[in-house]
């Protein structure tokens, strides 16, 4: 990045089937009008996202830590280090200060998205993350790690204004980060 940028991060937290993904689908197109949007989804069970026998799967099986696939329409990367064995932060001040491997994996993912120039990241799940949070369903504020900035049943325009007003995390051009998230 050529200059300092800001990464707004908001978490959607609630029980299964409470409507988190539906809310993501409503927020993303509206936030995309403001800049680049990424999403991060916490998945609680292992899944195979790469078809066994394909070249990318064979690269990964051979031991590549990260495999990048480039198709005519999509680019994707698969990194072998998930929640159980996340990579260490690559900066002196990670976005999320934590010893929890799951939150370290989220922090490292947010660092990569910031380095790629995203403006807003919506995190579905990771309720313990210390980032601004929208509660969906019957989850109470005591069940999340971040400050509550709205509820899933609030009017969409109110939720968008809450997200847009976040100060975000400063991402200096030379690497390293300082957490300046709004509370």
Q: What is the DSSP letter of 62?
A: T
Give me the CATH number covering residue 164. 3.40.50.300
pLDDT digit string (tens) for 16-57?
999 999 999 999 999 999 999 989 887 655 655 677 888 888
Question: Average pLDDT over the chain, rounded to whole?
Answer: 78
12 forms bridges with which residues in the sheet? 124, 134
* Domain final position from 82, 100, 133: 82
Residues 136, 169, single domain; the answer is yes
Quick one: pLDDT at residue 89? Answer: 56
Q: Are residues 134 and 154 in the same domain?
A: yes
Q: Are residues 65 and 126 in the same domain?
A: no
Q: What does the pLDDT look like over 50-82, one tens digit per residue?
A: 778 888 888 878 877 777 787 777 777 777 665
For residues 86 and 158, what is the distance between their CA atoms, to the nearest angstrom? Answer: 35
| Listed residue (118, 14, 132) closest to 22, CA to CA | 14
Looking at the fold, whether 130 and 144 belong to one and the same domain comes out as: yes
Residues of the domain holding 108: 1-42+91-183
Examine the domain organization and report whether 101 and 65 are in the same domain: no
Number of domains in the chain: 2
């Amino acid at each position: 990045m050529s200059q300092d940028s800001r990464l707004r991060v908001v978490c959607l937290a609630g029980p299964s089937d409470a409507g988190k993904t539906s809310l993501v689908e409503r927020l993303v197109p509206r936030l995309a009008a403001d800049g680049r949007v990424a999403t991060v989804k916490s998945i609680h069970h292992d899944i195979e996202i790469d078809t066994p026998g394909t070249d990318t799967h064979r690269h990964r099986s051979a031991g590549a830590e990260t495999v990048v696939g480039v198709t005519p329409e999509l680019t994707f990367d698969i990194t072998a280090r998930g929640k159980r064995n996340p990579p260490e932060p690559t900066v002196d001040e990670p976005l999320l200060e934590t010893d929890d491997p799951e939150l370290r994996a989220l922090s490292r993912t947010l660092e990569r998205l910031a380095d790629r120039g995203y403006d807003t990241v919506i995190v579905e799940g990771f309720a313990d993350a210390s980032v601004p949070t929208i509660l969906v369903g019957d989850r109470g504020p005591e069940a999340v790690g971040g400050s509550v900035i709205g509820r899933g049943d609030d009017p969409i325009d109110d939720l968008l204004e809450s997200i847009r007003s976040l100060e975000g995390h400063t991402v200096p051009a030379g690497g390293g980060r300082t957490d300046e998230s709004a509370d």
